[in-house]
Amino acid sequence: MTQPDFTATFQKVSDLVAFNPEDLLFRICELLKQEVYHYDWVGFYILDPVKNELVLGPYVGKPTQHTHIAVGKGICGQVAENGQTMVVQDVTQVENYISCGLDVQSEIVVPVMKNDRFVAELDIDSHSPAPFTSADTDFLSKICNLLVYRF
């Protein structure tokens, strides 16, 4: 398994952000899933501050029944609560995990923070065991930082 070219992929995402299409978040999901072999489900959850829950936004991958997630529940809800990236290399080891499918073995969730407040997150599931490295975390954090103005 070769390491993805995060620099080239980041440039493609940056170009999309500069172009600013109406379906920007969906296009980013498509691009990430296409470019990075271990990104099997890629999507955004957006905070509904009134209901204190995450609402599923654009995504690419198998359909999910998890269209609303309470803040604090599961990996996504925990990231919404604490505003910190969470990497889970083996989802079977997480007590509060919300299963999105039997194929999912690992997950990374990166917050989008605006003025130090959580507004959304990028959620990626992988069917590979323990594929995420600090390079993934850095790469996805840079992407989330590009998107702050969208929320």
- Which domain range does residue 60 map to? 6-150
Distances (CA, A) of 134 to 85, 105, 108, 138: 11, 18, 11, 6
128 within some domain: yes
* CATH of residue 79: 3.30.450.40
Task: Work out the percent of the chain whose per-residue pLDDT is above 70.
Answer: 99
Percent of the chain with pLDDT over 90: 83
Residue 35: the pLDDT is 96
pLDDT > 70? residue 1:
no
1 domain residue, yes or no = no
Span 95-131, pLDDT tens digits = 777 777 779 999 999 999 999 999 999 999 999 999 9
Render pLDDT for 56-93 as a digit per residue (tens, 0 to 9). Answer: 999 999 999 999 999 999 999 999 999 999 999 998 88
- Number of structural domains, the chain? 1
